[in-house]
Structure 1
């Protein structure tokens, strides 16, 4: 059995939902409501006490219908995606959150660009940027403005747009990611088989996961998992590593039941809770400092 990179602590008997983080997921658009719903439900299944999805108002009822435990905030809408006015509404939404994730289903329209521009400078809250939020970072040259605790989760195509390094050379992309991490202080999840988590000083290679996870919505689930762990108080380095491990193990558990070809984001999501339980039961002691795995 694969061993997780660190242990999730057991919950105290007198704990309440406020002890396990208040996280906000920002994204969604007409036709892509499922993306942000997957992230939000994954955050719940990873242990977040409170999860809220901020979505364009046109998507609110659809997103809310996926899971009764996910709270929703309607944002200003324009033709099915975030309006520019939504960027100001985000400022109120992030008050008192422990962590936020942005990107699944968000599009690259003007309103979404304005939201990401606000979020890059919100150094008081840990953030995960994924999907079109990463494309906005690359198109608007916003990586230079990244500050605070941030995790980026690019697939090879998104990473190519951010760094300019071809997706055909994985080793070069990992090296470019480490350089970007050194420039920004961000932790970068280089998705692939296997996924590699890169910090300014170190890299860690994941040991879970399978090719069946190369399916629509898989990355949205990962965004929710990492955001949840950040909201529970883990550092960006630890949240990214453990999040990738849990995500991969969820894929392995789902593939055993449904096969790799039969694996979709739904089966993956269903296994997140069981994978999280393995991080509690089988984890090693949390390291006092990051350890590189070459």
Structure 2
């Protein structure tokens, strides 16, 4: 079945996020200089500028770009960590895909965060409570989604930690005692606690040793293969994108400058900036 015959799991249209009040000049985003996302008149930064894309079940979509390109702002908008300035996002498994989730109540946004999406942050200290035990971090996510059976919570936490290769002897230990790679794996297990159909991963291998990076990437691929979880993987590293992603969006200065199948983008990049990125990888 082709993507055209399938309904996207997530559909985003004209997503815009600005930092600053904006002015009559930059509220027409086409007025912004082509290689800059800061308004020359009022200084407002347009972190995401009219982004549209779809994500399908079981697919991994890569978002690549240099620091400051807006890719992290994009996933933070999707997970409601920051509010959008404009645009729509719909989920096919929420209100039959008819509702713009950005306009939902805080209560409904919490429901979406707890049941329909998981988030893995670049810094595990953002996604984990470092004073809780590893099992306690997973329990927190399960309880937020309405699971209160202690036996069920303990079993699910043990299964998840085992799945991400955290020794069960360390289940009651706080992640602050763990290495960076282990912290990321605990964070991934917490994000997966309620079997969300969508996982958002923001620069999850940045700062990890290469051998640890490889283990985390293998884990992500295994999860996607076993559970058909759809993922958005944000990275500035084309090696990560090449290893994981079916399709890729290239961002620069808040805009999508190129999008397509990952193989096509890496083997035949059209935009000069993408060519630069690809050649720096080679």
Q: TM-score range by the shorter chain?
A: 0.3 to 0.5
Please tell me whether Structure 1 or Structure 2 has the larger radius of gyration of its CA atoms: 2
Bigger proportion of residues as strand? 2
* Structure that is richer in helix per residue: 1
The TM-score, its normalising length taken from structure 2, stands at 0.34
